[in-house]
């Protein structure tokens, strides 16, 4: 019997409409979308657990060359917790920021690397959002 594996795919939603500039969390069952949730970044933080940075480089290059937004990167995670409603907000002081904007750069970047390394596919124990930004809360060991 095939096991139904659940995971979440998280990205900052930039398509026009009521969920513009909100965090989109797709709950995936194997490779199919099971549910989609949207979270206002001014109201909650998302704590993302068991994460991998996903980037479709070919699509990202198309976005970069055209200068037009398109979905080509997200964070795949095993689980997530919303903070701010029930759980307290996590401080982002001294946390390193991750960057992804394929209109400017086709790869995931870390704040400390000055654009020297592509962090596509890198894995983290825990990431945390603050506003529209993503920070490394805990490295994967």
Q: How many whole angstroms separate alpha carbon 105 and alpha carbon 65?
A: 10
How many domains is the chain partitioned into structurally?
1
What is the extent of the structural domain holding 86? Answer: 6-139
Q: How many whole angstroms separate alpha carbon 126 and alpha carbon 46?
A: 10
- For residue 112, is it within any domain? yes
- For residue 77, is it within any domain? yes
- For residue 1, is it within any domain? no
- For residue 107, is it within any domain? yes
Query: pLDDT per residue over 43-67, tens digit each?
Result: 999 999 999 999 999 999 999 999 8
Query: pLDDT per residue over 86-115, tens digit each?
Result: 889 999 999 999 999 999 999 999 999 887
Give the residue from 1, 4, 38 showing the smallest Cα distance to 21.
38
């Amino acid at each position: 019997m095939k096991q139904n594996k659940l995971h979440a795919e998280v990205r900052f939603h930039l398509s026009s409409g009521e969920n513009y500039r909100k965090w989109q969390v797709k709950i995936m069952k194997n490779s199919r979308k099971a549910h989609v949730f949207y979270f206002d970044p001014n109201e909650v933080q998302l704590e993302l657990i068991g994460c991998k940075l996903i980037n479709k480089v070919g699509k990202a290059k198309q976005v970069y060359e055209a200068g037009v937004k398109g979905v080509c990167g997200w964070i795949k995670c095993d689980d997530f917790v919303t903070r701010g409603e029930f759980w307290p907000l996590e401080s982002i002081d001294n946390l390193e920021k991750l960057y992804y904007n394929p209109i400017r750069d086709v790869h995931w970047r870390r704040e400390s690397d000055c654009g020297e390394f592509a962090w596509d596919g890198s894995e983290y124990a825990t990431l945390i959002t603050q506003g529209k930004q993503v920070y490394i809360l805990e490295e994967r060991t």
